[in-house]
């Protein structure tokens, strides 16, 4: 990916639905009023400048309804959390969480995460979360999966040494897919030492509505990696 300028948006495509049911009036109002105030800058930027004094910056890719992102932001007000989500209903839901909890440390990219990561400098993130992404289970759709060699390379660029990457899924094939692609990149080390390390939610994990629906074909699996 281009590290100095955002890619041409016409070349990017976010698969899946971008909107489903009509957005509720209250949430629609937040899209008009709150989102412009907390939207990520549209030019290349250093996240350290968005929240003066922030201890570090985290990124959640595809935050869904925003439950996990908001809960982490509430727990760690000293951390700036960037969230990217192309699904409009999810963005509207996340804005409600931000308003209700008066979260000052959240910034949102209402679009494809690739347009955000291309604007961030090297080693600018301390953590990245990819939680229960669309599994695209059919073989012909695997190219649409978020975890690809180029995505892993971009995460390696963005994470500082000692940074952390967490992937979670309840689709066994996607877990295997991710293990293979993360394992192929020398910048990442899988931290698991025993089966419970991937079978049990990490101590700081926050369950989401999607996770609790158990729509996959296996129990949730959590993969934590260290940026070496």
Question: What pLDDT band is residue 146 in, cutting at 50, 70 and 90?
Answer: very high
Asked if the model's pLDDT at residue 116 lies above 90, the reply is yes
pLDDT in the model for residue 106: 98
pLDDT in the model for residue 7: 40
Angle between helices 67-75 and 88-100 (to 10 degrees): 30
pLDDT in the model for residue 6: 39
Which domains can be identified in the chain, with CATH numbers?
9-227 (3.40.50.150)
**12-16, 42-46, 187-191: least confidently modelled range:** 12-16
Q: Which of these, 111, 131, 163, lies nearest to 6 by C-alpha position? A: 111
Asked if the model's pLDDT at residue 179 lies above 80, the reply is yes
Please compute the mean of the pLDDT values over residues 55-77 and round it to a whole number. 97
pLDDT in the model for residue 18: 53
Q: Which residue has the higher pLDDT, 133 or 12?
A: 133
Please compute the mean of the pLDDT values over residues 78-93 and round it to a whole number. 96
Output the pTM of the full model.
0.90
pLDDT in the model for residue 188: 98
Residues annotated catalytic, as ranges: 134
pLDDT in the model for residue 63: 96
In the chain, helix, strand, coil percent, each to 5? Answer: 35, 20, 45
Q: Which residue has the higher pLDDT, 166 or 208?
A: 166
Asked if the model's pLDDT at residue 142 lies above 80, the reply is yes
221-227, strands of its sheet edge to edge: 106-109, 79-84, 56-61, 125-131, 159-169, 221-227, 188-190
Distance, in Å, from the CA atom of 115 to the CA atom of 45, rounded to the nearest integer, reads 12
């Amino acid at each position: 990916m281009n590290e100095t300028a955002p890619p041409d948006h016409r070349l990017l495509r976010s698969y899946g639905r971008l909107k489903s049911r009509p957005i509720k009036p209250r949430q629609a109002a937040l899209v008009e009023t709150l989102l412009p105030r907390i939207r990520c800058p549209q030019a290349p930027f250093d996240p350290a400048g968005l929240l003066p004094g922030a201890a570090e910056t985290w990124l959640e890719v595809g935050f869904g309804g925003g439950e996990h992102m908001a809960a982490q932001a509430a727990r760690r007000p000293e951390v700036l959390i960037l969230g990217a989500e192309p699904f409009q209903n999810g963005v509207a839901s996340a804005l409600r969480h931000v308003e209700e909890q008066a979260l000052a440390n959240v910034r949102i990219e209402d679009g494809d995460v690739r347009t955000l990561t291309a604007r961030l400098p090297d080693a600018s993130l301390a953590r990245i979360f990819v939680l229960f992404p669309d599994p695209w289970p059919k073989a012909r759709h695997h190219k649409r999966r978020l975890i690809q060699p180029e995505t892993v390379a971009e995460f390696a660029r963005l994470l500082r040494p000692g940074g952390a990457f967490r992937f979670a899924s309840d689709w066994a094939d996607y877990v295997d897919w991710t293990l293979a692609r993360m394992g192929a990149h020398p910048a990442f080390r899988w931290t698991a030492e025993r089966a419970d390390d991937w079978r049990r939610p990490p101590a700081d994990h926050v369950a989401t509505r999607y996770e609790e629906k158990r729509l996959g074909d296996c129990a949730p699996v959590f993969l934590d990696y260290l940026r070496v």
